[in-house]
Chain A
Amino acid sequence: MSTSTSKSRHTTSTPARRHLALGDILSMRNVSVVLLIAYFAVFMAYPIFKAFAGSLHEWNPLTDTYNWVGLDNFAQVLTDSLFWKSIWNTAVFSFFSILFRVVIGLALAMLLTSKLVKAKDSLRGLFYMPTITPLVAVSFVWMWMFDPQFGMIDKITGLDISWLNDSKWAMPAIIIMTIWKDFGYATVLYMGGIMSLPKDVYEAVSLDGANKWQTFRSITLPLLRPTTLLIVITSLISYLQAYVQILVMTGGGPGTDTYTISYLIYDQAFQKYNFGVASAMSVILFALTGVLTLLMFKASGDNLEETR
């Protein structure tokens, strides 16, 4: 039907016009947008819908069960002490990882952009090494570094700590490894931020006789707030989802001491095949991520208003 109408239109139009009409239909805009929407529907919208639906079912692919249970999965998750322990572990892990990532990243970026430092490119390349190496591989390297028998950390520091097998030290060990892995990303973003700061403001304050620390506190830090916000939010989102270092280094142990929310979901879904319960947890994680991100945007927005 539609082909016949377009054909009749073609015959009445000039050759140039015909070319344009076909080009119009297959234009970059139309092709990309249609493909994107189709792709999005299949690989994003449907899975999200299915995750919500699945969270309301008893769902196990091994036994081929898919039975409606209403909110039972959520009730089970929210009364499970391991879930709350995992939430707490995730909070501790995320807080310290983000804090040190931001502080180390900013400090290094300030140094690496200062006029005093030479060979900036090589230094930046070295500091960035951990960030561009694969997490599974470096998790192994750190697992061995923390080994009480031959690991280099105990050998260098002279400590006798069985890091990953000690419930007091396992989480700090994972946090240390994560900070090492990730500070380079913050450093590079801060360097980008610092280099794009307006020069004239600094000339004005140096005439006012402000010292370096005052300049940093009252000018640099506030001007870098968008960069800080970007780092904190992207870090938060990725740390809420972190599981690889835990899977490799401790397997959630000792006991359940290094379970995080995403490791718990992995465990429920792909060790125990409780897809329904795992879906309920992932819906909660999704909501948590959304709320925390929005809160952070809002808090920083208010701050920006105040400083004006």
Chain B
Amino acid sequence: MKRNTIASVIVTALLFVLAAVTIIPFIWMLVSSFAPNSEIVKLTGGVFPTPSTIDNYINIQDKFNFLRLFANSLFVASLKTLLIIYISAVLGYVFSKLHFRGRNLLFGMVLATMMLPWAVTIIPQYDMMVQFGWLDTYRALIIPGLVSGFGVFLFRQSIGGISDEIIEAARLDGASDWRIFHQVVLPMSRNSIAALAIFTFLWNWEDYLWPFLMITDDDKQLLSVGLKMFSGQYGTDYGGLFAATSVAIIPVVIVYMCFQKQFIAGIATGSGK
């Protein structure tokens, strides 16, 4: 018993050390974002620069209208996440509980899109957006990515696990499929919603190439593209860059913390079983 306790303390402590190593880049970034440039590039001295100022955060707003980019990214990523979750859930229900000819074929095609490299579709889609006249609009950012193979797969797995009897009972009460979906199935899918919310928000928040190609108006630009432009323009303003990256990382961490509990359960049902 005693030996187990000691072993437990040692292993746990060891894992916390590893976890600290894992998140050191974030801490280093955060500390550096509060240090003046001269302190950051100093050759001598410790690993961490001494934090002493919030000028970096003020400067990025002045030089770069940072909050605008931040708000744009927040808007696009949130809206897209909501739409993708809803569409994935609808299709997950359709593919797991409703019957029609060619269901497996259609589902197979949706799944196959997960294997499709971005490089294949991005050039034709770019061309298409130019033809549609959608450049510099958020339509171009939102509409082409609404059907997520991963999302549909996740919801098909979890909704497939809901017993048919519950759905049949609702149907006998005269409820339509829309109603069953909204009132019975959707509330039971919290774990999948959480898992998909985390991933989808992240993927859209970090998306670089598509907004880079679609948006040329600086006022409409998104944060990840802005970050790259900022580093091109002010490559030696490390303090500013550290501050900008810190702010770029915070929203996804918040989304993760909100959904963390349901998230693991959602992933576990989506895989391996």
Binding site for B on A (CB under 8 A): 23, 27-29, 32-33, 36-37, 39-40, 43-44, 46-48, 50-51, 54, 61, 108, 111-112, 114, 116-119, 123-130, 132-138, 140-142, 144-145, 149-150, 152, 155-156, 180, 188-189, 191-193, 195-196, 226-227, 230, 237, 240-241, 243-244, 247-248, 262, 265-266, 269-270, 275, 278-279, 281-283, 285-286, 289-290, 293
Chain A positions within 8 Å of B260 at CB level: 125
State the Cβ distance, B77 to closest chain A Cβ, in Å.
10
Chain B positions within 8 Å of A289 at CB level: 115, 117
Question: Is A116 within 8 A of B238, CB to CB?
Answer: no
Q: Which of B93, B116, B224 contacts A48 (CB 8 A)?
A: B116
Q: Which of B49, B116, B264 contacts A188 (CB 8 A)?
A: B264
B237 adjacent to chain A (CB < 8 Å): no
B196 adjacent to chain A (CB < 8 Å): no
Please give me the residue from chain B that is nearest to A130 by CB atom.
Answer: B22
Question: Is B209 within 8 A of A262, CB to CB?
Answer: no
Binds A, one of B10-18, B53-61, B63-71, B154-162: B10-18
State the Cβ distance, B49 to closest chain A Cβ, in Å.
8
- In the complex, A138→B28 CA distance in Å? 12
Question: Is A135 within 8 A of B8, CB to CB?
Answer: no
Chain B positions within 8 Å of A129 at CB level: 22-23, 26, 253
B25 adjacent to chain A (CB < 8 Å): yes
Question: Is A32 within 8 A of B91, CB to CB?
Answer: yes
Question: Is B11 within 8 A of A116, CB to CB?
Answer: yes
Please give me the residue from chain B that is nearest to A132 by CB atom.
Answer: B256
- In the complex, A10→B119 CA distance in Å? 51
Question: Is B94 within 8 A of A282, CB to CB?
Answer: no
Chain B positions within 8 Å of A61 at CB level: 127, 130
Question: Is A126 within 8 A of B271, CB to CB?
Answer: no
Interface string of B32-64 (1 = CB under 8 A from A): 100000001111001111000000000000000
Q: Which of A111, A136, A286 contacts B116 (CB 8 A)?
A: A286
Q: Which of A27, A180, A270 contacts B213 (CB 8 A)?
A: A270
Question: Is B128 within 8 A of A47, CB to CB?
Answer: yes
Q: Say whether chain B's binding surface is mostly helix, strand, loop, or mixed.
A: helix
- In the complex, A150→B39 CA distance in Å? 10
B133 adjacent to chain A (CB < 8 Å): no
Q: A150-B41, A237-B114 are in contact. Are A116 and B12 (CB under 8 A)?
A: yes
Please give me the residue from chain A that is nearest to B212 by CB atom.
Answer: A270
- In the complex, A269→B247 CA distance in Å? 31
Known: A130-B25, A282-B120. 13 other contacts (CB 8 A): A28-B94, A36-B147, A44-B121, A46-B124, A134-B252, A137-B224, A137-B245, A141-B28, A144-B242, A155-B46, A156-B47, A192-B267, A262-B119
Interface string of B242-256 (1 = CB under 8 A from A): 100100110011011
Question: Is B19 within 8 A of A127, CB to CB?
Answer: yes
Q: Sample 14 A-B pairs with CB under 8 A, ordered by A number.
A: A39-B147, A127-B22, A129-B253, A134-B252, A137-B224, A180-B25, A189-B271, A196-B272, A196-B273, A243-B209, A270-B209, A282-B117, A283-B120, A289-B117
